[in-house]
Amino acid sequence: MMRFDEPLIPCTLLKRYKRFMCDIILDHHISPVIAHCPNSGSMKGIPLTNVPAMVSFNDAPGRKLKYTLEMVHNGNCWIGTNTWNTNTIAQQSIEAGVIAELKGFDTLRREVKISDKSRIDFVLDYPDHTCFVEVKNVSLVENNTALFPDALTERGQKHIDELIALKSKGHRAIMLYIVQRTDCSSFAPAVEIDPVYASKLKTALKSGIEALVYQANVAPDSITLIKKLNIRYF
């Protein structure tokens, strides 16, 4: 479970623009303010106009945008929009033993360099093997199915290639997808959005890469992994 350090502030999200910025109106206020939107994806499938939202506040010196968009509500559930939270959710869940497939490790290392140009999100050291884990945030849902990616992702394709290379050296390699919404019951690669990624994932699974998908309940006070989702193969 990832708890927010301070209570989130309710607001209305008016619009997102320039990828990392959005206009909001705080509850009981009239004038809009600009907030940071820490999400590099397309945010396809997330309502971004005149919807209930929650923001965090940080008044640190030198910070231009004091508010950060954390989640929006689509009428059914809260959807986590801050992708900076994803690795924290994953780490705390791994350490708490929530992800059954990753229990029993001795040490956990974060942002480990695996080449001159690349780092992997987590390395777990077990008594008899080493496990490399790459984490992806999932926020797109269509027809009750969570989909990744929500836009073309050459970076994501590269991460799959790196996991395959690690597996070929005898290591355990895992792609961990964190779905930050509860209005879905399965997961699949977004073939129509990025067919190359889907093809690479299929190859990776055949080579022995593991894919784990866990769904999170997103709430104004915390984000908690609640269950594993099945992968709808393709």
pTM: 0.96
- Per-residue pLDDT at 234: 64
Tell how strand 78-80 and strand 107-113 pair up: unpaired
Say how far residue 30 (Cα) sits from the centre of its chain. Answer: 32
- Per-residue pLDDT at 33: 98
Instruction: Quick: pLDDT tens for 3-36.
Output: 999 999 999 999 999 999 999 999 999 999 999 9
Average pLDDT, the chain: 97
Alpha-carbon gap, residue 160 to 163, rounded angstroms: 5
**Domains defined along the chain, listed by start:** 2-80 (2.40.50.580), 83-231 (3.40.1350.60)
Alpha-carbon gap, residue 54 to 76, rounded angstroms: 15
- Per-residue pLDDT at 53: 98
H helix runs in the chain, sequence order = 86-95, 154-168, 195-206
Instruction: Quick: pLDDT tens for 36-68.
Output: 999 999 999 999 999 999 999 999 999 999 999
- Name the amino acid, one letter, at 37: C
